[in-house]
Amino acid sequence: MSWDQLPILISGAGIAGLLTAQALKRLEIPFIIFDRDESVSSRGQGWGITLHWALNDFLSLLPENIQHKVFKCQVLEDFHLNDSGNFVYINAGTANSLVHIPPSKRLRVRREQIRKTLLEGIDVNWSCKTMEVRATDAEVTVLCENGRTFTGKLLIGAEGSNSATRRFTNPDNYQLYDLPVRFLGSTVILTHEEYEEVSKHFDSLLFQGTIPSNDTFFWFSLLSSPAHNGTNFYECQVNFSWNCPNKTAEKFDTVEDKINVIKRVSSGLNENLMFLRDKMVAASDRFMEIRLSDWPYADFDDKQGKIILIGDACHAMVMYRGEAGNHAIADVKLFIDLLEKCRKQEISWPEMIRAYKDDVKARAGPAVLLSRQACLDAHNWEKLKDFQLNKSPLLALRKK
């Protein structure tokens, strides 16, 4: 059978799935993309992500009209034209900076808006949750919860960290590893004056730090400015994470429980930052808990060339180095380059699948563990406090 007689199936319309769809569309390779959600905005997933080392690859996979729109997704309008920000890591007890490094090329964007931008011209089959996968010698079929089925030449599992496809490719080890750390954040509203203060003392886009007295991690980031949200306010995220070796022992069920825990773990936060904690607690209706878990294998049974995993599905990692999305982009770029070679008959289909798997495993497998270590270090001030001496992957990448 000719390799492009059947479509490529993409399960999951996150950044990895949609970027793959855009790239396949450019190459005029048939594909079908589907997602469990009812629409792109049916689940609140509003956080910012920094595209840095994979930014050029990201743009290269998109048509020109969408490339332009990517720049409109920045949390601060046209910030890339004069990126005056720094990577700032502070002692969150004193508010003094531990690390203050000028940025490399980067784009800080709203994840939700990037997804909407990547949707342009792509027809996603919504409400199609992958439940079961069946592979034969010639094809692969996905059965969805709503009764629909899709059959293709290749299934790309792009369903994020809890990938359904991964259950099929890795029945014995698909489960995530939970880190002994708990994370809670919220979206808060800052006046112009409040935002200016934070921006002047720390950074316009984001900064992070650790409270030495209790090893709590603190993270501030901008989500949108008045120019985007049409109000007089700045939408920002305030997040905390803390060591929590026994999650069942910590009372964390109700909003009240959560507020109590946040008050406890944020004690020791510098007084000039406390207003952010107070705003976060006041915004308890927007609390967002993120399960800190990862999957370091980055390896899967491709069912004789019928299935691959990309993005978080293939290498879920915690966000303490801010690079999971960049790895997802690198996966897509790698796959598309190999697919083009395959189409030109420079390599065979099995060679393409093998090359993809080898590269992803070598690149992303160690990255998962570095992010895990970065997370643990972010909650260990003793290890972080001497920046010149420390070798933590939390700061190492930025040190270069």
Ligand X SMILES: Cc1cc2nc3c(=O)[nH]c(=O)nc-3n(C[C@H](O)[C@H](O)[C@H](O)COP(=O)(O)OP(=O)(O)OC[C@H]3O[C@@H](n4cnc5c(N)ncnc54)[C@H](O)[C@@H]3O)c2cc1C
Give me the least distance between CB of 1 and ligand X, in Å please. Answer: 26
- Residue in the shown chain whose Cβ atom is closest to ligand X: 14
- Closest CB to ligand X among 14 and 209? 14
Structure tokens at 324: 């999971």
Please tell me the distance from the alpha carbon of residue 318 to that of residue 369, in angstroms, as a whole number.
9
Give me the least distance between CB of 185 and ligand X, in Å please. Answer: 7
- Closest CB to ligand X among 160 and 393? 160
Give me the least distance between CB of 201 and ligand X, in Å please. Answer: 22
Give me the least distance between CB of 389 and ligand X, in Å please. Answer: 26
Give me the least distance between CB of 45 and ligand X, in Å please. Answer: 7
- Closest CB to ligand X among 93 and 297? 297
- Closest CB to ligand X among 14 and 85? 14
Give me the least distance between CB of 86 and ligand X, in Å please. Answer: 15
- Closest CB to ligand X among 16 and 280? 16
Give me the least distance between CB of 153 and ligand X, in Å please. Answer: 19
Give me the least distance between CB of 13 and ligand X, in Å please. Answer: 5
Chain residues that interact with ligand X, rule: CB under 6 A: 11-17, 35-37, 47, 49-50, 111, 129-130, 158-160, 164, 290, 311-313, 319, 322-326, 328
Give me the least distance between CB of 46 and ligand X, in Å please. Answer: 10
- Closest CB to ligand X among 37 and 197? 37
Report whether 243 contacts 299 (CB < 8 A).
no
Please tell me the distance from the alpha carbon of residue 139 to that of residue 116, in angstroms, as a whole number.
31
- Closest CB to ligand X among 106 and 153? 106
- Closest CB to ligand X among 93 and 242? 242
Q: What is the 3 state secondary structure string of the chain? A: CCCCCCCEEEECCCHHHHHHHHHHHHCCCCEEEECCCCCCCCCCCCCEEEECCCHHHHHHCCCHHHHHHHHCCECCCCHHHHCCCCEEEEECCCCEEEEEECCCCCEEEEHHHHHHHHCCCCCEECCCCEEEEEECCCCEEEEECCCCEEEECEEEECCCCCCHHHHHHCCCCCCCEECCEEEEEEEEEECHHHHHHHHHHCCCCEEEEEECCCCEEEEEEEEECHHHHCCCCEEEEEEEEEECCCHHHCCCCCHHHHHHHHHHHCCCCCCCCHHHHHHHHHCHHHCEEECCEECCCCCCCCCCCCEEECCHHHHCCCCCCCCHHHHHHHHHHHHHHHHHHHHCCCCCHHHHHHHHHHHHHHHHHHHHHHHHHHHHHHCCHHHHCCCCCCCCHHHHHHHC
- Closest CB to ligand X among 152 and 160? 160
